[in-house]
Amino acid sequence: MEGRRNAVIGWLLLLPAAVLLVAFTHYPAGATLWHSLFSTAKPNRPARFIGLDNYRALADDPVFWTSLVNNAWYALGTIVPSIALAIVMALWVDRKLAGRGLLRLAYFTPTVLPMIAVANIWLFFYTPDYGLLDQLRGHFGGAAMNWLGARETVLGSVMLVAIWKEAGFFMIFYLAALQQQSPELREAAALEGCGRWQFFWRITFPLLMPTTLFVLVNAVINAFRLVDHIVVMTRGGPDNASSLLLFYIYETGFRYWDASYAAALTAVLLAILALLALLQFGLLERRTHYQ
């Protein structure tokens, strides 16, 4: 009787979170999948069931494949550098330094800025001739460059913006994890003649694996959901060279008003994120050590 009562109390405590999860996550995902099987309703033509026609259209859509490949490069180019930079910054500000508080604030400041504001700041940096980057290049004899107008540089330029904004956010989690580690570990390692790199690789980094798993999941999600700076800085150009999957969904749904095709694109995006989450937990959770 007591066990049943505890089980009921437990389920009642979980109920508010479960209701919110179903209402704002599972139901919208299911509704998106359902709408992707219908055509887009028009003023003089109601929506009709078309099955997998939207998904067949995806296979022949060059913009979709370009956006998907761009997104893959964008993820590879932002996830690893932002996490690596966050670890380096956390290790640096975890030391006893003069002005350590100001340094932490400087690293974290980009995180609190809205992405729209960040995009406008970097638009100034990238402006040909007058931007900060071209001004610096000019001092060394470099020619002006259209960073956001060339296919070769546009994707890397928007990647740099994301890394600059996200690394400080991830640093906070690593800094908190480092401060939870016992200083006796370093003392014991020093007695055994363990160098700094060996101590980090053999002791510090394995103890950071739970944090790394959490940060990695967030970094992957961010790599597929950040679209604000694309809208402000490039609008997917030039020639879709900076178009990402979520930006293409936004354009399809709100510029071309093709809601069912946008739903199919969203379903593909959700499937990709689910697959990546399974891979992350399957590969990394075995190497994660919890105290």
pTM of the predicted protein model: 0.86
Please name every residue paired with 45 in a beta bridge, in sequence order, or none if there are none.
Answer: 42
Span 197-235, pLDDT tens digits: 777 887 888 888 889 888 998 899 889 988 888 998 999
Return the pLDDT at 183: 76
Span 67-96, pLDDT tens digits: 999 999 999 999 999 999 999 999 888 877
Is 31 domain-assigned? no
Token output for 214: 């959490």
Return the pLDDT at 145: 84
Is 16 domain-assigned? no
Span 257-288, pLDDT tens digits: 899 999 999 999 999 988 888 887 777 766 66
Count up the domains in the chain and report the number: 1
Return the pLDDT at 243: 93
Output the average pLDDT for the chain: 87
Triad 120, 126, 130: Cα angle to 5°: 105
Q: How far apart are CA 240 and CA 252, in angstroms?
A: 14
Q: Write out the residue range of the structural domain in which residue 113 sits.
A: 56-287
Is 119 domain-assigned? yes
Is 25 domain-assigned? no
Is 154 domain-assigned? yes
Span 234-263, pLDDT tens digits: 998 888 999 999 999 999 998 888 999 999
Instruction: Tally the C-alpha atoms within 13 A of residue 255's C-alpha that lie toward its C-beta.
Output: 8
Please report which residue ranges of the chain form alpha helices under DSSP H.
2-21, 27-35, 53-59, 62-93, 100-112, 115-126, 132-139, 151-180, 183-191, 196-199, 205-207, 209-225, 228-233, 245-254, 259-284
159 contacts 82 by C-beta, under 8 angstroms: no
Span 24-43, pLDDT tens digits: 988 988 999 999 998 888 88
CATH number of the domain residue 233 falls in: 1.10.3720.10
Is 235 domain-assigned? yes
Confidence of residue 291 (pLDDT cuts 50, 70, 90): very low
Is 254 domain-assigned? yes
Return the pLDDT at 79: 93
Per DSSP, the residues of 162-194 read: HHHHHHHHHHHHHHHHHHHS-HHHHHHHHHTT-
Is 262 domain-assigned? yes
161, with CB counted inside 10 A (0-12, 13-18, 19+), is: buried
Neighbours of 37 (CB within 10 A): 18
